[in-house]
Amino acid sequence: MDTPTLIDLHASLANKDHLHVYINTVKFEMFLFGIDWAGIQHYKKIQDATKPTEDHYLRFIGTFSKTDDSPMPLDTKDECICLIVSMFPGSSFRLVHNHYLQSDIAFQSITGYEEFELEGWDEETSISVCYS
């Protein structure tokens, strides 16, 4: 078999509860502050302090009032829109120089969040590229 499934690796991995124990253990080790808004803020601070700019993936984190355009403090979540822009600097460069762009608003990788991704056609390589 070319592509083994989890059950092929070990019969106990067919049990979703058993598998979640492994996943949650790793998740809590990697994301001590969780994977919610506070966890993202923490990861952004670590990224900005420890990684060179060209390796930054979280480019912007902010909250905006639903009633006006004034920025709000990052810890304010009531009646606001929380915005996260995730994109490597190289993708930003390619995005700015692209002539064909589309947005996939059906994209959903995290339950409970409204997400979209920006894609485009790279004429130089003739492939579809996901920018953000």
pLDDT tens string 120-129: 888 888 888 8
* pLDDT exceeds cutoff 80 at 70: no
Amino acid in position 101 = L
98: left (phi over 0), alpha (psi -120 to 50) or beta: beta
pTM over 0.75: no
Residues 92 and 60: beta-carbon distance below 8 Å: no
Q: Facing residues of 104 across strands?
A: 117
Count CB-CB contacts under 10 A for residue 52: 7
Gap between the terminal Cα atoms of the chain: 34
Q: CA-to-CA distance for 98 and 92, rounded, in angstroms? A: 10
DSSP 8-state code for residue 24: H
Query: For the segment 94-120, what is each residue's pLDDT rounded down to a tens digit?
Result: 888 887 788 877 766 666 677 778 888
DSSP 8-state code for residue 45: H
